[in-house]
Structure 1
């Protein structure tokens, strides 16, 4: 590698995203990159010429290890949608003039679906203009909804947190008895794909029955049938635990969360902000049945819980970061690194690169056959798929009883 590398992070952060950043940095250094820049707040920050020299922030092996264990986006993230090339060529001219100024050979972007859209557009512009910079995507999303990859870094750690937390909520629910029972409704992230919510089934084991019901956004949600199932369960037990995706919809296409409040905020990619699904259902059940209810929203906890990160996830995140640099150094552009599952027992995986045009703006949903006929729980196939991804632990570096993270001063070149 003769030139410089620039790396950015985009979209929702994860507990493993910075491990990919560490992998990019280490591999770029090993391959001879002169400088490795980090965009502050992704492509949006780059357009404002906000970036740092990562060698000034990752100064030794301890920094690198702390970075792997630091949740959220170390460089800062963004949700910025690049215009189509024919709509606003000036945006691309500005970006590429900055890349020329920094002598960038490889541009690595760590993110999910929307981030791969950025890689697709930038690589297309480079082809059209004959620009030498190579653009490679590094997968990241707790939603696990990127096409062509077996799974995405960030998902395993989020799934581990969800399975653990659901199990603890179940245990808590059996401590006290209420005259008319207790219904706990847990809201898990997931707009269109239910990979995270399905991970609630990981709570089931020899010492735990697991949640009673699991609802994914892939299937329409029926309020009346839901009420009847909860009522039936309460006739048999005093505590009922339900996991629902934030994005579950009625048969007419309305989000359940829209029944309780208006959804006003829409991001640059046209995504509605979803929140309040569990709160609405808890209120609905309390009114219908007259029992005590609890609404529990994991929110950002499921993507920032580095204290319960999966070792498999952290290692794979590091590997895909390195693989992205390797791919760019060897001439690939307009590609994304994917994870290929080689075996389940023992679990083994490898990396490949795929055309980002076949990944950007697509979504991988939970297969219908991995959900039971009633649409109220995931099957063993789902659980067997996710279990290898949550294995192992990554011990935090503890200082005064609290995990230490790598701190990034707000400086720029």
Structure 2
């Protein structure tokens, strides 16, 4: 039994259910006899470096429960890459100062890389520390897990609004005949693909879906749109923001702007494609950018997703208390007609900075839609609704006490 304090932090883009993972980790830590203080680091790894902690043991029980229906990152998030020697020296000094023996990092690809680096640091310095990564990302691109907490809720929301937008554009007799929805997805198309779940019958929106996994051809795209327009009268197109050409170059991006991890800034692809449609096909349309609403819509979150997000947080702490370190909690789908899953540990160094693509076999031959195999994979993940309490007509979300 390793006795000491623990710190929990959140990193990267929030999801609707990231706080479920936080709640699961906190409540499991409450029950852990070896864990003393439970610290929450403000703004991810930056909060640890700055010794900016809040006491999670002294939070009101109702607030911890309220995390299970509250979106955003309750502890605050960041995008910060550990590079400098001073960062590593400071990190280890903070761990020693606060007797932190358990570190739980909730995040995506880059966050798992950070957790891996922290685990390596502790081993190299001979400091006994148990590090577990808790997965989250709406992009659903972490490897070695069937899917990622956060994806199911974002998929449910995006499919729902595409269903509604399809009904809207079809019902109004106007000159606006085409709508382009730009979904999140830097290098993978999991989220855009999920909009196929909106179709209740052939011919319903979305009519075309384009993913980064298939090289994008502008002329083929314009031909697809024109054909769909003549067939259906209106066309709703969903594109991933990270579409690339046959050479692997983004179709539209701000190459001059990158984040701390070197990722190019994306956004604006939908408007670029709409301009092409209006110029080449003379069809009037509109561009729709759901932006961060895709990842923050707790009012339409998946209960399946919320429960699994809670469980990966719980399992992370339970496994660390059993002695595990240097791992991420993964979701394993069990065989059978009815959807069920269990949880397992995978090594952080096999997850860090890796991406899981939509299988090519789950995309149609034309590269403008998904197959039944994808539908069967994704549909169980959007099932059920979260019971969000309301006050004065709006969701009664909670905040952690300072």
TM-score range, shorter chain: over 0.9
Say whether 1:219 aligns with 2:220: no
Output the CA distance in 1 between the equivalents of 2:12 and 2:296.
Answer: 14
Partner of 1:43: 45
Partner of 2:32: 31
Partner of 2:55: 53
Matches within 5 A, 1:156-235: 156-178=152-174, 182-206=177-201, 209-235=204-230
Which deviations, in whole Å up to 9, do the C-alpha atoms of 1:108-140 show, x marking residues without a partner?
000000000011111111111111111110000
Output the CA distance in 2 between the equivalents of 1:105 and 1:252.
Answer: 46
Taking structure 2 as the reference length, what is the TM-score of the superposition? 0.97
Match of 1:151 among 147, 150, 154: 147
Matches within 5 A, 1:98-137: 98-137=94-133
Partner of 1:70: 70
Post-superposition shift, 1:161? 0.4
Say whether 1:92 aligns with 2:93: no
Q: Across the two proteins, how many residue pairs are aligned to each other?
A: 400
**Structural RMSD (CA):** 1.4
Partner of 1:7: 8
Kept in 1: contact 2:8–2:39 (CA 8 A): yes
Output the CA distance in 2 between the equivalents of 1:337 and 1:324.
Answer: 6
SS at match of 2:358: coil
Kept in 1: contact 2:252–2:268 (CA 8 A): yes
SS at match of 2:238: strand
Post-superposition shift, 1:208? 7.3
SS at match of 1:14: coil
Gaps of 5+ in 1: none
Output the CA distance in 2 between the equivalents of 1:345 and 1:307.
Answer: 29
Output the CA distance in 1 between the equivalents of 2:111 and 2:231.
Answer: 47
Post-superposition shift, 1:231? 1.1
Kept in 2: contact 1:178–1:238 (CA 8 A): no
Taking structure 1 as the reference length, what is the TM-score of the superposition? 0.94
Matches within 5 A, 1:324-363: 324-343=316-335, 345-363=337-355
Kept in 2: contact 1:146–1:364 (CA 8 A): yes
Partner of 2:238: 243
Partner of 1:22: 23
- Which runs of structure 1 show a deviation greater than 3 angstroms over 4 or more consecutive aligned residues? none
Output the CA distance in 2 between the equivalents of 1:8 and 1:144.
Answer: 20
Output the CA distance in 1 between the equivalents of 2:323 and 2:122.
Answer: 13
Post-superposition shift, 1:206? 4.3
In the superposition, relative to structure 1, how do residues 327 and 75 fare at CA in structure 2: closer, same or farther (>3 Å)? same
Kept in 1: contact 2:21–2:310 (CA 8 A): yes
Partner of 2:300: 308
Matches within 5 A, 1:251-266: 251-258=246-253, 262-266=254-258
Partner of 2:358: 366
SS at match of 1:345: coil
Post-superposition shift, 1:207? 9.1
SS at match of 2:118: helix
Gaps of 5+ in 2: none
Of 185-194 and 25-34, deviating more is 25-34
Kept in 1: contact 2:159–2:195 (CA 8 A): yes
Partner of 1:391: 383
In the superposition, relative to structure 1, how do residues 404 and 207 fare at CA in structure 2: closer, same or farther (>3 Å)? farther
Output the CA distance in 2 between the equivalents of 1:135 and 1:370.
Answer: 35
Post-superposition shift, 1:253? 2.9
Output the CA distance in 1 between the equivalents of 2:80 and 2:301.
Answer: 28
